[in-house]
A and B are shown apart, each in its own frame.
Chain A
């Protein structure tokens, strides 16, 4: 039998669909994912020497060529592949590890919590950026290394947040009710509590992905990635190596930089959308502001709008 109608999830999904911010964000991300997957089949070969190096945008090369004479449009589109893949994989893994360790720590409490909290705290106090740089330069370069390094330095904060959320749920009556009815702990965590945390998990995933894309590009820009692959980070690395700033060839780095900014912007929009949908007070306050004269919308004093119906 189908019991999913009008569940909290269907309400959220319809909410997201109706939310302008979330829809814009999702749309932009889909465009980028589409380009990342299918783009390289359409564009010119991003690795081939095609034209005079550093030639400005033209009909032949819409975004010009870089210092190696490669097509910048093709490079930007190909770069999206690995950058987004590493970004979203890191996001998923950070949330999974955070939910596992933070969830267990918060649910069981006691000695288990003491040990796991210690682990979380150790990773929290470790300086992330230097650790990332050292690990990335020491391990063999590649997307696997990047993901590993980003997850290792990024999971702890998430685990901390999920742990505290789990601790508040742990003492709710619906959890006690499940315990009294004989339900197993692991089932309570996964079936009863995790769905209640979905909005937190979703926004954690998005936050972690933004972080992963930014950090990844940063590492690669420093030359700590695999410079033979094409990613947004290596694009910027080569642009900097080829003195793009000194020669004023803006077209070699602006497209990549703009792509990174737009993806982060879109992800942030989705996060705002999730926030509004799962926290109805934000929506009702917005609707309230739209519906009353601006001079009456004062904090702390209820407006009187007599002709409002």
Chain B
């Protein structure tokens, strides 16, 4: 027979609802060959995670597998008994889940969690188990002294390695990786991926890699499949797909994200023709610091989230704050929008520094001038209110528009951000719109007060890849039309490069480096910035050291 490790034939999965069943996976077929890295790509709701969970038969209610075959070891695991299902899980297939903090049990040590798997699924006992645990730990480069740590004592990258070790515990021929690096910072993500590929070379297992990020898979996958709305729309060799594939959606996905290095692509986002931001700053931040107390009964500690940060934003300028998680970028956003008070330092808006630290109340005028766009459009709109309510409240509060013109003004605002017809969207509730539409509503709300400054905190990171650039384009155009200043907060250097005029790189609450966007990307000075630029550029995988060693 052929040497396929997993063969999925015409798989169908339904979610049962009180109305018609939802077809989450519709007639999907593919085979994974021994030893390959097979990539499965799709945006949220495409059914990619449903496929792998159906393979493991771990889909929770209300899911029902309604058709097809899943063949592993010449056995159709959709027709075996429930007891046999438990047998093949982990021995034949294991899975690395997305969020390592959720996949690990917070009250058990690392040793206990690895031991658990070995005790249940293998015949090893006593000393043999300990030996195996040590072996696994050395595979993933974690020191044996860490075995008695609890998950929260390890960094995100280390936790993800432990999850990989657990997946490797029984050496299954196939390992499913469901967005294993999505929750990690770019540099750590690259390290983990390098480790995975290195382990595969050593141990020879097959990988089914699932992600929403096609550019990641183009680096190292052998074959790729693309899913959309529960259907498989593209399947082929990576080179073929890199060249554009057959489906138009594939091209859209590949072209959706700009690159952080190489020559600048022209015309990706609108820029003003003659950028001139004057010499008088709109916003000036001086020696801003914020400490958060961490409760501890005997030793109350302070976390320094932002340390002595100073920078300026000029009228009409877009400044990007780039940093990984823990760099303090979101804290700076909250400080500037005055959602929290700084521990020390000053925030000058138009040269005045009104009651920054002493008063709880923020002047209404400041609220009008500085607006914010949040990361998660599902959370920043209130599910019980209409779009109209979200837009009318700030206008009523600030009394900017006469009451009888409110409705027309709001419709105009909605159409400005690309929601047309505005009258129809005004009546909608958040749950009746897609993620991109919701984020446009959030943009319209921030813009409706005609602010001088908008703080956009990762406005695209929760959105599907294919619509991210469209949202950024709305920001880019509004800047030109209204001479708006924007502080764009992101972890993604590539989108910062295209949207912003200036980039400020943050690490551990301090500014590492800042400069004009293109200069900083082309010739970074600090090591950290260089690492960031490299991690966000295509071809990083080829440059990994073991690739060269093995080829010699």
Residues of A within 8 A of B (CB): 1, 3, 5-9, 172-174, 176-184, 192, 195-196, 283-285, 287-289, 291-292, 297-298, 300-306, 308-309
Contacts and interface: CB of A to CB of B under 8 A. Distances in A.
Contacts of B376: 173
Nearest to A6: B429
Interface stretch (B56-64, B237-245, B246-254, B270-278): B56-64
A181 B367 CA distance: 6
Among A176, A195, A301, A302, the most chain B Cβ lie within 10 Å of the Cβ of A302
B267 interface: no
B79 to A, nearest CB: 7
Given A177-B445, A182-B397, A302 B62 contact: no
Nearest to A290: B16
A302 B398 contact: no
Contact of A285 (B21, B61, B388, B432): B61
Given A284-B16, A287-B18, A302 B53 contact: yes
Contacts of B367: 180-182
Contacts of B82: 298, 301
25 contacts: A1-B407, A3-B388, A6-B432, A7-B386, A7-B429, A173-B380, A176-B339, A177-B381, A178-B382, A180-B339, A180-B367, A180-B371, A181-B394, A181-B449, A183-B394, A184-B397, A284-B15, A288-B61, A291-B16, A301-B58, A301-B85, A302-B64, A304-B64, A304-B78, A308-B64
Contacts of B432: 6
Contacts of B54: 302
B498 interface: no
Contact of B371 (A5, A9, A181): A181
Given A3-B388, A182-B367, 5 more contacts: A8-B383, A174-B381, A287-B18, A302-B59, A303-B64
Contacts of B388: 3
A3 B389 contact: yes
A304 B70 CA distance: 11
Contact of B398 (A176, A179, A182, A283): A182
Nearest to B81: A301
A115 B271 CA distance: 54
A182 B64 contact: no
B217 interface: no
Given A174-B380, A284-B18, A301 B57 contact: yes
A5 B442 CA distance: 22
Interface in B1-21: 14-18, 21
Contacts of A5: 427
A306 B65 CA distance: 7
A295 to B, nearest CB: 9
A298 B388 CA distance: 46
Contacts of A196: 382-384
Interface string B407-426: 10000000000000000000
B126 interface: no
A286 B164 CA distance: 35
Nearest to B19: A287
Contacts of B17: 284, 287
Nearest to B78: A304
Contacts of A287: 16-18, 62
B65 A305 contact: yes
Contact of A183 (B21, B60, B384, B393): B393
B517 interface: no
B379 interface: yes
A7 B427 CA distance: 10
B303 interface: no
Contacts of B16: 284, 287-288, 291-292
A177 B64 contact: no
Contacts of A182: 364, 367-368, 394, 397-398
Interface string B384-408: 1110110001100110000000010
Contacts of B386: 3, 7
Nearest 6 A/B pairs, CB to CB? A182-B367, A288-B62, A181-B394, A173-B380, A173-B379, A302-B59
Among A6, A173, A196, the most chain B Cβ lie within 10 Å of the Cβ of A173
A288 B383 contact: no
Contacts of A292: 16, 64
Nearest to A181: B394
B209 interface: no
Nearest to B86: A301
A172 B379 contact: yes
B372 interface: yes
B539 interface: no
Given A6-B429, A172-B379, A183-B393, A305 B66 contact: yes
Nearest to B449: A181
Contacts of A184: 397
B374 interface: yes
B67 interface: yes
A305 B431 CA distance: 31
A243 B339 CA distance: 68
B337 interface: yes
Contacts of A183: 393-394, 397
B445 A181 contact: yes
Given A3-B386, A173-B380, A300 B58 contact: yes
Contacts of A309: 21, 66
Nearest to B68: A306
A122 B384 CA distance: 35
A304 B65 contact: yes
Among B64, B370, B371, B381, the most chain A Cβ lie within 10 Å of the Cβ of B64
B304 to A, nearest CB: 21
A9 B384 contact: yes
Given A174-B379, A177-B445, A308 B394 contact: no
A7 B53 CA distance: 33
Contacts of A305: 64-66
B376 to A, nearest CB: 6
Contacts of A283: 18
Contacts of B21: 308-309
Nearest to B367: A182
A176 B393 contact: no
Nearest to B77: A304
Interface string B21-65: 100000000000000000000000000000001100111111111
Nearest to B373: A177
Contacts of A3: 386, 388-389, 427
Contact of B65 (A174, A179, A192, A302): A302
Nearest to A8: B384
A302 B372 contact: no
A94 B355 CA distance: 40
Contacts of A6: 429, 432
A261 to B, nearest CB: 32
B500 to A, nearest CB: 22
A181 B381 CA distance: 13
Contacts of B371: 180-181
